[in-house]
Amino acid sequence: MTIAIEPVLDKQHVEIQPYMRLWAAVFHRGISDFCTARAAGENDGRVFWFYDDRAHPGSFVWLCDLFRIAPDVARSAVLKKWRTYVDKVELKEQKKWPTTQTA
């Protein structure tokens, strides 16, 4: 599953600064790790990171602030994308292993 993260650029800069690329990678990895944990039914630090409302360097809220994204909007988008992905996987599995009904 891929979720695009488009940082809002300062109009004075033509290209993304290297530190923004680094933080975008951290943000992407955190979201990916959250989705992996959620898919496995785990409730660990990866899930805590996603839902934690504290703002400190590297936290979900701090990264949202860095990219000028409202944390609630980002969470909703991730959860919606994740749910769509899970639904597709479940549909594939149903087609792969059709259930048989007995009378």
pLDDT at site 87: 79
**For 7-20, what is the mean pLDDT?**
65
Helices 18-39 & 71-96 angle (0-180, nearest 10): 50
Beta strands in 13-102 (DSSP E): none
Per the CB < 8 A criterion, the answer to whether 1 and 35 are in contact is yes
Tell me the CA distances in angstroms from 99 to 88, 96, 102, one per residue in order.
17, 10, 10
Q: What is the DSSP letter of 97?
A: S
pLDDT at site 39: 86
Q: What is the pLDDT of residues 29-76, one digit of tens each?
A: 999 999 999 988 999 999 999 999 999 999 999 999 999 999 999 999
pLDDT at site 89: 75
pLDDT at site 103: 54
Question: What is the separation, in whole angstroms, between the first and last Cα of the chain?
Answer: 39
Domain ranges of the chain: 18-96
